[in-house]
Amino acid sequence: MKELPTPTFALSPSAHPAALPRGSLHPSGQRTAVERPADGHGQGIQVAWARHQDEVRQAQRLRHEVFAGEMGARLSTPIPGHDIDLFDDFCEHLLVRDEQTQEVIGTYRVLTPVQARRVGSTYSDTEFDLTRLRTLRPRMVELGRSCVHPDHRHGGVIMALWGALAEFMVRNQLDTMIGCASIPMLHSGVVSGDVAASIWRQVSSTHMAPIEWHVRPRLALPVERLDGSLQVEPPALIRGYLRLGAKVLGPPAWDPDFNTADLPMLMRIADLPARYRKHFLGSA
């Protein structure tokens, strides 16, 4: 697999989209149009990888809107109104746009193995001790900063993101995805870890990874001192990951900046259920 020195480029006014550097992880700069499920709008969505820094900035503005504006995260950022951290310049950024307005309505960032070595770690390493995953790292990517605009939270956007991610993994001969799946600490107007403790209790009994891949949080949520008996569903993104065959790697960490409890999760292409494999990759 070939890697770019850094996956984001100059601002688009000074760089032609067709003039891509050699060694790109992506075969072309074209956008892929995806039909949107019937949701009253009648328009489609487009999926593409960011090619220029101003496209990354659009994703960072959406992230700030969702994480800070909607979830109340305390973000330290060099540009007001943008969610930016040290990993962004090393990541590939996947964008979903509204075909009519060209507004970025969904995004993921992807840190590949080579880029993780360049930056020195993954974001997940800052929250968990990932020592037991060392044998997986050569073909392991980290997914992060997933968000969708509140006006577009229908199945089409997240399925489009996942389809592009699956194609990216197979094309670049990568087989494992990890990431921190967040559970908001704010529930019914009260900040509490009881919801996260209850979700941890549920998933730890049904979706744990093999013990050789278990990880430890660096700042653990004290689940043993919380009420883990609430009958609550995991957030939609976590439910979706579990349907795709993802496994939980250990108990949640507490992220005080984002005010979330983060579950470490791992998903392997080989574990995709047959129906999703056919949907995303066209093979059984």
Q: How far is Cα 267 from Cα 112, in angstroms, rounded to an integer?
A: 15
Q: Which domains does the chain have, with CATH numbers?
A: 29-281 (3.40.630.30)
- Give me the percent of the chain exceeding a pLDDT of 70: 85
**Ranked by mean pLDDT, which of 3-7, 183-187, 228-232 comes out on top?**
228-232
Digit-coded pLDDT (tens) for 229-256: 999 999 989 999 999 999 999 999 999 9
Residue 106: the pLDDT is: 96
The answer, yes or no, to whether residue 204 has pLDDT greater than 90, is yes
**Contacts of 93 by beta carbon, 8 Å cutoff, 6+ apart:** 7, 8, 49, 50, 55, 56, 59, 107, 108, 109, 110
Give me the mean pLDDT over the 117-127 stretch: 97
Residue 72: the pLDDT is: 85
From the CB of residue 41, how many other CB atoms can be counted at a distance below 10 Å?
Answer: 15
* 180 in Cβ contact with 264 (< 8 Å): yes
**For the chain, what is the mean pLDDT?**
87
Residue 156: the pLDDT is: 85
The residue written with tokens 């129906």 in the block is 275
Residue 34: the pLDDT is: 53
Q: Binning pLDDT at 50, 70 and 90, where does residue 4 land?
A: very low
Q: How far is Cα 164 from Cα 94, in angstroms, rounded to an integer?
A: 8
Residue 16: the pLDDT is: 34
DSSP letter, residue 100: T
* 263 in Cβ contact with 200 (< 8 Å): yes
Please give the model's pTM, rounded to 2 decimal places.
Answer: 0.87
What Cα–Cα distance (Å) separates residue 174 from each residue in 100, 142, 215?
A: 33, 11, 21
Q: Exposed, middle or buried: residue 281 (CB in 10 Å: 0-12, 13-18, 19+)? A: middle
Residue 172: the pLDDT is: 95
* 228 in Cβ contact with 200 (< 8 Å): yes
Q: Which range is least confidently modeled, 9-18, 68-77, 179-188?
A: 9-18
Q: How far is Cα 24 from Cα 3, in angstroms, rounded to an integer?
A: 6
- Give residue 196's identity as a one-letter amino acid code: A
Digit-coded pLDDT (tens) for 256-274: 988 899 999 999 999 999 9
Residue 155: the pLDDT is: 80
Q: Binning pLDDT at 50, 70 and 90, where does residue 214 land?
A: very high
> Which of 51, 56, 57 lies closest to 28 in space, CA to CA?
51
Q: Which range is least confidently modeled, 123-132, 160-169, 182-191?
A: 182-191
Q: How far is CA 247 from the centre of its chain?
A: 15
